[in-house]
Every structure is written in C-alpha cells, then in structure tokens.
Structure 1
Amino acid sequence: MAGIAFNGCNMPIVSKLYCASSQVLLLVRERPHVVSGGGFVVTDCSQKVVFRVDGCGVVGKKGELILRDCDGEPLLLIRRKGGLVQALSIHRKWKAYTSDYEGSQKLVFSLKEPNSCLARNNTIRVSAEPRISKRAFDWDLEIKGYFPDRDCSIVDYSGNIVAEIGTRKEVTEVMTSKDLYHVVVKPGIDQAFIFGVIAVLDYIYCESTRC
C-alpha cells in the first residue's frame, strides 16, 4: 500500500507507485468525443500517459467512473451513492474503491457533492480511508476555489496544499492546444488518489466524464 503525506505523516491510500519524492506537474487533456462522456487523459510534460479516466459514456453507467493506469488497468472504481436514503440527504455522496487480487473492494475515499454546482462558495470535502485527520472532523481534505475556473487547490485539514489545479502562464509553454489544465501534486502525495478526486469534480461540474 501507499502513502499520502499530511503534516509529515504517511497514510496508505492507493499505491506507493504514485507517490513521488518531489513535486510533479501533470497535464489533463480531454479524450476525443467519440462517445458522450469520453473522459480525460493525464500525461506528464513529455506527453507520456500516466492515468486515464473513463466517464459514463465509456463505462455505460451514469454516476460511475473508472481511474486507470497508463496500461489501462483499473485503479479506482468511483460511484455516486444512490437509493432512497441518498435522495433524502442534503448532500449526494461519491465513494471510490480499489479491488484486490481476489476481487473484493475496499473503500479508499468518499466525497460529498455540493448542493448547487453554480455556487462558488459551496465547500466540497473528502474523507480518506483510513481516516487521516485525528481530530473530530468527518473530513480530511477540502477543495478551495472553483474547479470550472481552473483555479482551485486540494488542501488538508490543517490548510496545507497537497495539489493545485490551474492554467498558470509559466506552465502554458509546456502545454499543447489539447491540454485543458495542469495539476501540480506536492511531494509524497498519492497522485492516483488526487486524480480520483479530480475525476469526481469533473463529473459534478458536467464536464468530459459526464453523459
């Protein structure tokens, strides 16, 4: 299992393969619209594919996403919780799972969807499994800023930035015309976990992964 560093503490999330010792810059580009909800591709600065996200047009189910590695192997299955209890809830919740070699699923994070995607001040919070925060919170990270503006950060419960989403001028020179935005992932942070969260944000705001 892997680590994601918060205040110097490593906690297992997805895989140690995606925890770098230095800051990592990754680029997000939309997959060609062969089908609705085609998803997006994550590359490094040399245009090598790191992750791929399948949206509901590929997966075939609304409210379901798959994060895959560079070889197309599934890393995370992400589902929006449904049912009567969910319909009566203030927040819709997403849950992400990994599968072991026996096929059993393990919850790795959950995310509460905001009441309205139009309001910029709605807080989106993420809870990791096992819990990172030792405080009496029901969340470990939150999204600061507004994802559709490509100007937001993922921060931990102490306010430390673990990843930044943007289109900064100093980065645009390494981006191609197909790139949508960049993501800077801080040292020790599990990149697969971060892009699982970003995949949900993409769907919530009706972008490339949604039908």
Structure 2
Amino acid sequence: MLLFSKSKSRTVHHYHDEREKDSTGDGGDEAASTSLTVWTKSLVFSCTGFTVIASDGALAYRVDNYTGRPGQTVLMDGSGNPIFTIRRRKKLGLLDYWLVYEGEVCKYSNKEKIKPVFCVRKNISLRQTKVDDVVAYVYCGMSEKRCMYVIKGSFTHRSCKILDESARVVADIKKKEAMPEGASFGLEVFHLIIKPGFHCRFAMAIVLLLDQMYS
C-alpha cells in the first residue's frame, strides 16, 4: 500500500478525527452515534435537493438545485454556508467518477490551484446483485492508488454501509421505519447514522454522490 504525502494525509484525517466536533452538535461524542434524518426534497420552492434534520429537530444540512440533474452540487450547512462542491466527471470509456472540493467552487475556477479533497468512483461491476457488493470507492484527492473507504449495499433500497480501510463500519444508510398508524415514508425519507469519529459532513457528501450514481 502506497503512502500519502504529509499534506494529503492531514487533509484526509481531518474528516476522520475522533477529537473533532461536528456542526450537528454531537458528531464528536464517543458515547453514541449521530443520527440524521434525510429528506430528498428541498425547502426552496421550484428546487430539487435535500433537507437534513438533526436529532434535536434543527436543520443540519441542505442542498438546493435549480436544475433537475446538475453536473455540480453544493452541500450547505443549515444556514446556507457551502461545505463541499461535488462535480461529476467521466474518464475515457464508461467509467464515471466524482470530485469533492471544499467550499463552493464555480466551473470557472482555476483547476490548477483548487484541488479536490476526495475522488469517488462508481463500481461498474456486473456482480452488483448481492446486498454486500461494493457500489462505490472513495480515494484521496485525484489519486486512485489507495482506497480510503468503500460503500457496500444498495442505495436504491436505502441499505448501505460505509467502511474504512480496516473494514470497520463508520456510517449506515437505513430506511426510516413506518409510522405506527401504518403510513410509510417510502424512499424519500431515510436515516443516516454516523459512528463516533467519522465526520457527518463527509457522510452526507457520500449520500449525495450515491444519489447521483444510483437514483
């Protein structure tokens, strides 16, 4: 396994530091996981996107897209401050991959100066029939030499796990249970459960990537 440069290593572990506290208020609490409720709707009229609610009922994250399937998506906090910019790219052939930048990056930004923090590649294997199959790989920066995380399961069925290099589950995507009265939430509302030590913002960015890959 190849080693990262010191600068890249610090950037990567910024999102996987047990001492770091998340904007949701309990992302750094080692006693319990953080549970977010994700709704695949924007609160802004005529927009598509996501609304993410923390366990205390506060607005944690949001995505407001003014076009149906944008080539670029910005993840914001509850106040509308940009956290990550996600861009879809296609290499030669049929291989799709996505670049994740810190903050808001417009399409006219200098690509030589602004480098992506993560690269996520969709698994195009024909063996995506088992529940535990890999659906995507997460790499540092533009390099695909070292896989930091893998995502397994089925985002279509809202049943996914994010695993680190030691195969430890750091986050789960799960269906939201039906109401006692029998009303079902369907696929529009689901849970994102983040284990202690894994950054909530990065977990939510992965949800956006999976939605673009498999919805």
TM-score if structure 1 supplies the norm length?
0.71
> Which structure features the higher share of helix residues?
1
Could you say which residue in structure 2 is the equivalent of 1:91? Answer: 95
Residue pair 1:98, 1:105 contacting (<8 A) in 2 also? no
Aligned counterpart in structure 2 of residue 11 of structure 1, from 7, 13, 21:
13
Q: Is the 8 A contact 1:51 1:70 kept in 2?
A: yes
Seen in structure 2, the aligned counterparts of structure 1 residues 165 and 52 have a Cα distance that, compared at 3 Å, is same
2:84 counterpart (48, 51, 76): 76
Counterpart position of 1:3: none
1:165 aligns with 173
- Name structure 2 gaps, 5 residues minimum: 1-11
104-113 or 180-189: which moved more? 104-113
Q: Which moved more, 1:116-125 or 1:192-201?
A: 116-125
Task: Report the TM-score when normalising by structure 2.
Answer: 0.70
Residue 43 (structure 1) aligned with residue 45 (structure 2): no
Unaligned runs of 5+ in 1: 1-9, 207-211
Contact 2:140/2:146 (8 A) holds in 1: no
> Contact 1:56–1:64 (CA<8 Å) still a contact in 2?
no
> Residue 34 of structure 1: CA displacement?
4.2
Aligned-pair distance for 1:46? 3.1
1:92, CA displacement in angstroms?
A: 1.1
CA-CA distance at 1:128 after TM superposition: 3.2
User: Conserved in 1, the CA contact under 8 Å of 2:84 and 2:102?
Assistant: yes
Aligned-pair CA distance for 1:126: 0.6
User: What percentage of aligned pairs have identical amino acids?
Assistant: 24
Distance 1:122 1:13, change over 3 A: closer
- Bigger relative contact order, structure 1 or 2, given CA contacts below 8 A and separation 6+? 1
Residue among 121, 126, 132 paired with 2:138: 126
Query: Alpha carbon RMSD of aligned pairs, Å?
Result: 3.6
Q: Evaluate the alpha carbon distance shift between residue 21 and residue 128 of structure 1 in structure 2; reply closer, same or farther with a 3 A threshold.
A: farther
